[in-house]
Amino acid sequence: MGEEGGGRSCGITRELQKLKQQAMEYYQENDVPRRLEELLNSTFYLQPADVYGHLANYFSKLAKPPTICRVVGKSILDGLGLPALQVEIFCIIQNFSKHICSVEIAADFEVLENALPELVEAEDAERDMAVNMAVQWINEAITEELQGMIPTKQAEVDQVLRTFFANKVQEDKEQKELEKTIEESTAPPPPPVTPPLAPPPPPKKKGPKSGRKDSLVEKPIPPAEPPEAILCGSMAIGAVSLAIAKTNATLDNIPLYLNMALLKHNQEQPSMMTLPLLMGSLISCGKSSPGKLNLMKEVICIPHPGLSTKQGVEMLLEIQKQISKAMEPLPPPKAEAKKGHDSTKRGQPLITGKMSHLGCLTINYDTIEQPLLLIQGACANLGLELGVNLHLAINCAGHELMDYSRGKYEVIVGTYKTTTEMVDLYVDLINKYPFIIALIDPFRKEDTELWENLYTALGSKCYIITGSASKSISKLLENQITSIPKCHGLILRHTNQTTMSDMVEITNLTDSKRLIVILGTTEGESSDDSLVDLAVGLGVRFVKLGGPSRGERVTKYNRLLNIEEELVQNGTWGANEEHIFCPFIEDAEMSLDPATVSSKLLLPQESIFPTEVVQDSTNT
């Protein structure tokens, strides 16, 4: 018994010595003894009040960088109660899985108002399919692809996402080709073609009648281009990329806009940051409005560049209040008892307004002048002057105005304009109302000749901007922005497969071509405010947020105000430049003549609104 017990004790001793040896090698391999000695010595000399907090901070700096362990996709509802996508990022931090952040992105579909029920149902089904497919991609394949990657390496993550998407595009292409082959093989053979009968001889043409002039033949309009193909589920790529950028900012304890600025400037933090100018929608009188006017889908307020964002938002809110007051119904007139009075006689139609999904009032106006006179009156009541304290932009939504059966634009119900007349209409509008400094989508994208004519006529005093007439960011990058109509700038939207690396690349490209960039919201919006951070970090000229009336849009206004406050406090707030109208595309390589530029500046008079915030921030 004694010998057996002694043998077991010797075996245990040898195992313990072996374990000690392994432990010593493990700790030495990871440099633990030296680190502990340094830490204990420094702790004794520093003698911090929170000893264990000091130890924790020291060891946290030595920990491995966080790695992605899980990406979760969920279907949620946007501000209109429609399906949207939410992405959550989980990382391994100091051996534990932690939830880092989440983002929400709305499906990129046009919001149909007053449309046929079957069209609405078809689009709802397509939207549901897009969101559900994106959720499936994220929870099954993308989370496996990104597992173990370091979220701070945005370019590497985006490249993985691009490769994944390219494979999905190829799979979709092969699937469609296979379906086409099967369909052709099972289809019945076409009937034999019988040769057509010889056409009858043409009748003799009669000569023109005397005294009658030949009518001018209107040039036929180019047919509408097919819509750009969007792969179902592609919104997963853009949403995950944005979530990774937000994760990076969260882990580095910096705001998202600063993280985007670092990406854009090769990890060099800019000394000054300029906030984008606000574009806030005031009223809507477009195709879906109850009135006859179709031309003005949005009438947009642009506060003067010399005002702070806070002052601009306050101005916008006050104008909106004045417009709402003008929409309040007047009390009914008292009945007159005069003999022969016709009490059934109809007066002027009541002007009413309802809140649209764009965050502004939709008003039933019948003429082009009415909305502009309404805003002029609202500004006059506040002591503001259009063209001095603020300017206007018009989103014309030209693609919605074309009547293809007539080949004309229907600017007002029953009023059709030829292509030539449309150019004249816009020229007359800007000459009559010079405080309008931007026209968004004045024509369809196919009418390139009209864009050139309008640019030639108004390019020196009004921004010509492409929105829906532009391409997706992927296509713009593919063709280096050569397939858009002639314009001063374009509206970009972060949608579908657009990654953060794409956003940086496209803004660098537009900067090189001196194109104005407006970062805009989609029509259906979520409560996520990341769009504002992207606009600030990427240094775009304008941010288009819709009106300040719906919760999902107000959150973005609040985020813009918070960023301005942060920049002022940090002393990194930069002043905006005046509006400049000059050729941006063809003459991008040429230096600007200072005399020419100064003649095209919209210089303000003395501002009626106070500018204390701007002056204080400048002094700091």
The answer to whether 36 and 28 have CB atoms below 8 angstroms apart is no
Q: Which residues contact 519 (CB under 8 A, 6 or more apart)?
A: 276, 491, 492, 493, 494, 531, 534, 535, 538, 540, 542, 543, 544
| Torsion angle defined by CA atoms of residues 311, 314, 315 and 321, in that order, rounded to the nearest 10 degrees | 180
Residues marked active site are found at 496
Q: How far apart (Å, rounded) are the C-alpha atoms in residues 3 and 191?
A: 102
Retrieve residue 216's tokens: 């001018």
| Residue/partner pairs of 312-315 with CB below 8 Å, 24 or more apart | 312/277, 312/278, 312/280, 312/390, 313/278, 313/280, 313/548, 313/557, 313/560, 313/561, 314/609, 315/382, 315/384, 315/389, 315/390, 315/609
Retrieve residue 613's tokens: 């915030």
The answer to whether 363 and 415 have CB atoms below 8 angstroms apart is no
How is 481-529 classified by DSSP, letter by letter? S-SSPS-SEEEE---TT--HHHHHHHHHHHHHTT-EEEEE--SS--S--
Q: Which residues contact 480 (CB under 8 A, 6 or more apart)?
A: 509
The answer to whether 305 and 576 have CB atoms below 8 angstroms apart is yes
Closest to 535 (Cα-Cα) out of 577, 564, 568: 564
Q: Which residues contact 158 (CB under 8 A, 6 or more apart)?
A: 241, 244, 499, 500, 501, 502
Q: How far apart (Å, rounded) are the C-alpha atoms in residues 491 and 440?
A: 9
Q: Which residues contact 27 (CB under 8 A, 6 or more apart)?
A: 33
Q: How far apart (Å, rounded) are the C-alpha atoms in residues 87 and 101?
A: 8
Identify any residues that bridge with 353 across adjacent strands, giving them in sequence order: 363
Task: Report the half-sphere exposure of 232 (CA within 13 A, side-chain side).
Answer: 14
